[in-house]
Chains A and B, each alone.
Chain A
Amino acid sequence: MSESSVEARAVPSSTVFVALLRRDVRVAIKELPFFLVRTIMQPLLFIIVFGYLLPKMGFVRGGYQSALLPGVLAVSLTLAAVQSVALPMVQEFGWTREIEDRLLAPVPTTVIAAEKIIAGVVQGLIAAAVVLPVARLIMGPIAGLTLAHAGEMLVITLLGASAFSAMGMWLGTAIEGQQIGLMFSVVIAPMLFFGCAYYPWRGLDVVPVMKYAVLINPLVYVAEGMRGALTPSIPHMAFPVVVLALLFITTFFWHFGLKSFYRRAIG
């Protein structure tokens, strides 16, 4: 215990941020198998039933897969981003209080929250990168699938992961541990089913009330954006509209996510 001058040195926030991120990467690598199962299971089942079985049985027309693939990608991205922040937050702020050692890190509390959200974004990106090829593999050739708009897809993926990771921060810090199950049935499940992931938004022309009601659902914009990028022949929202909406949603969730974390962190 000789170098007693170490502690007085100011540490740049960026150094602490990187250390926090390294911690999350370390944990993510340890939990990679669980992460992959958690991320891939839901879309996989959907792809098998709706993208493979039903078309084979002739219950849905072949073109359905083209509408489904971008949606499934959007759902994977969303779930991975939300869960990879919300679940640890609920646990670490809960009985174990294991978040404490990070809350004592010498950076503004907001930096700690921001790091968590960024780590969630990375996990969302990984989920998208894993699910896309798996989906393509199971569904077989998909009419109209193109990677020509990879840039657009990347923008949607980044914005979507950012919005939903921040949403996970908000949910994970605003609700109590016992209500985590409720969160999935009351918030996440309706969001998935009314998120235009399994049907294009324009398909809702037949139910106009619903067509406008679902616009408050952030998943709609990710799914529609993915559709525009991956299968542009399917009717979809215009790219600039999607980007604007996602920018707004991202800002909204970051604001409330950071605020909620702070409220939870500082008693």
Chain B
Amino acid sequence: MALDGLDLDVNQGEFFGLLGPNGAGKTTTIGILTTRVRPTAGDARVAGADVITDAVRVRRRIGVVPQRPNPDRSLNAEENLLFHAAYFGLDRAVAQRRAAELLAQFDIADKALSKIDEMSGGQQQRLMIARALIHEPEVLFLDEPTVGLDPQARLALWDVLRLLQSQGRTIILTTHYMEEADRLCDRVAIVDHGRLLAIDSPAALKRRAPGGTLVEIAVDRDAAPFAESARALPNVERAEAAGALLRVYSPLGGSIVARLIQLVEERGGHVKNITLAEPSLETLFVSLTGRKLD
């Protein structure tokens, strides 16, 4: 089962993030909300319409950007936009004008008459966003839209998404990039194994992260005995083991590292690697699931 009792409410005009590792059920959630996957149980409504009994009304109100670009390969770039607009009953002249605007906005105007095969992956991805916008949807779904984009293109897309939200659109975005959720979203739901683990604004979620810096120490054996001993140390808020990984949360930050190394070596272990992370969505996620996002 991909989803297991996931209850969510997204407000109109909100920028909402679904954050979770691959296989968490994010894509299934988007599939259900965009009428493309039929849930085995439960119900969902988008812009007031039921995704099962009123799928047509839902489709009329949404735009969808898929995880992997799926343009109509029998058509050129501009035709992809024009026909998509036609499926939504847009007037031909309006569609033509909007297609030209969107192609320019996403910097693919020179590819308007190109075959899909002649466009790069990033260009195809931008075409998908243009397609999702041409019929002016109220709710925009983006499934991991920045996977495969270079950092510059990612930042450019973030700007576009902020602009779209400022125009009153509701945006639902899935991502496994913490930074993306943190920077863009009004609220973030952390999901794993199809279940909701936490939901709040990024700031509030960060406050819920275990206090202090997360110190991760990779050792050469099972870390459980070390975690046990670490809990007894002063200034350790929390310590746990995940296989050969020792995780310690401490307000001392880097200053506790020396003490931890000493602890491991006193008990016959050897330290192989050390990482530090400030309290963040990442450390919250690790504390909730016991594993990292990617």
Residues of A within 8 A of B (CB): 1, 3-4, 6-12, 15-16, 19-20, 22-23, 26-27, 30-31, 96-98, 100-109, 265-267
Report the Cα distance A6→B88, complex, angstroms.
9
B89 proximity list for chain A (CB < 8 A): 9, 11-12, 15-16, 19, 106
Q: Are B61 and A101 in contact (CB under 8 A)?
A: no
Q: Are A98 and B70 in contact (CB under 8 A)?
A: yes
Of the candidates B38, B71, B89, B90, the one having the most CB atoms from chain A within 10 angstroms of its own CB is: B89
Question: A1-B167, A101-B87 in contact; A6/B135 too (CB < 8 A)?
Answer: yes
Of the candidates A8, A9, A19, the one having the most CB atoms from chain B within 10 angstroms of its own CB is: A19
Inter-chain contact total with CB atoms closer than 8 Å = 107
A103 proximity list for chain B (CB < 8 A): 36
A31 proximity list for chain B (CB < 8 A): 74
Q: Are B37 and A266 in contact (CB under 8 A)?
A: yes
- B183: Cβ under 8 A from any A Cβ: no
- B56: Cβ under 8 A from any A Cβ: yes
B62 proximity list for chain A (CB < 8 A): 104
Q: Are B86 and A98 in contact (CB under 8 A)?
A: no
Of the candidates A7, A23, A30, the one having the most CB atoms from chain B within 10 angstroms of its own CB is: A7
Report the Cα distance A210→B79, complex, angstroms.
51
A97 proximity list for chain B (CB < 8 A): 66, 68, 70
Question: A4-B168, A15-B89, A19-B86 in contact; A108/B68 too (CB < 8 A)?
Answer: no
Q: Are A7 and B87 in contact (CB under 8 A)?
A: no
B94 proximity list for chain A (CB < 8 A): 3, 6
3 closest A-B pairs by beta carbon, nearest first, are A11-B89, A19-B86, A105-B87
A119 to chain B, nearest CB (A): 12
One of A4, A6, A266 near B36 (C-beta < 8 A): A266
Closest to A24 in B: B74
Report the Cα distance A265→B36, complex, angstroms.
7
Report the Cα distance A103→B75, complex, angstroms.
16
- B80: Cβ under 8 A from any A Cβ: yes
Besides A26-B75, A31-B74, A101-B84, 13 more A-B contacts (Cβ < 8 Å) are A7-B61, A7-B136, A7-B138, A11-B60, A23-B86, A27-B75, A98-B71, A104-B59, A106-B60, A108-B56, A266-B35, A266-B36, A266-B38
Q: Are A101 and B135 in contact (CB under 8 A)?
A: no
